[in-house]
Amino acid sequence: MTTATADSAAFDAYAAQYEQALNEGLSISGESPEYFARQRIEWTAKVLSDTAGVKRVLDFGCGVGLAVPLIREVLRPKFICGFDPSRAAIDRARDELGDADTQFVAKSDQITAEAFDVAYCNGVFHHIDPTARQAALQTVFDALRPGGWFALWENNPWNPGTRYVMSRIPFDRDAIVVSPVACRQMLRLAGFHVLRTDAWFLFPRSLSWLRPLERLVHRLPLGAQYVVFAQKPDAEPEG
């Protein structure tokens, strides 16, 4: 889950054992990475509602492509482009998941401009130097068609459990987290319309019987992760 402005060399070292490193941190929750990925993508689909209109999806900072099978299953697009500057991660994703309808690229200039209905991004921006985040957002903005949606998921620094989990993941220990307020602000600066923010993953598996309560408080910044939904403005009418 890196971008062009993150340290892609550091992620190259984890390309072959990415899931193992991720599990080092997430095991404390009692859930697998796949559990969280499914919940994220299903909520993204629910907010988007009309998934029949999602034909092309950009997975920005795709890493080794863990989210791609779920994007295929839940959003059902005709085409997916996964971008990550870690060449080792992209090589693995291409070998395991690439096909005629799924492309993986390691250079941002290989992302077709104004071609995507939805951009999905999870746990990427805390790996980008704060001074380079606007440039990364510009890449996403340029890739979306007018009216296209951006679902930006990030780790919530206001949740104490998040900090602890990140300390257990080798590639997350030194990351610079992004608050929900800062995330919304940088999206607006990039030209997006910010539409809503939700937070999820409040209870570990041992307290799963409390999870139905999350639907009552998901608009509050309490969960371990949050998502900001933003939209690229429609093209200005001519004349």
Q: Which domains does the chain have, with CATH numbers?
A: 8-231 (3.40.50.150)
- The pLDDT, as a whole number, for residue 135 is 96
Phi, psi of 119 (to 5 degrees): -115, 130
What are the φ and ψ backbone dihedral angles of 226, each rounded to 5 degrees?
-130, 160
Beta strands in 9-78 (DSSP E): 56-60
* Structure confidence at residue 4 (pLDDT): 45
Question: Measuring CA to CA, which residue among 138, 137, 58, 73 is closest to residue 105?
Answer: 58
What pLDDT is stored for residue 22 in this prediction?
A: 65
What pLDDT shows up at residue 8? 60
| pLDDT mean for each 10 residues of the chain (239 residues) | 50 55 70 92 92 90 95 96 94 95 96 97 95 97 97 96 83 89 98 98 92 94 96 73
- CB of 204 closer than 8 Å to CB of 210: no
Give residue 170's pLDDT.
Answer: 74
Indicate the pTM of the whole model. Answer: 0.90
Containing 227, the helix (H) or strand (E) segment is: strand 225-231
One-letter identity of residue 144: L
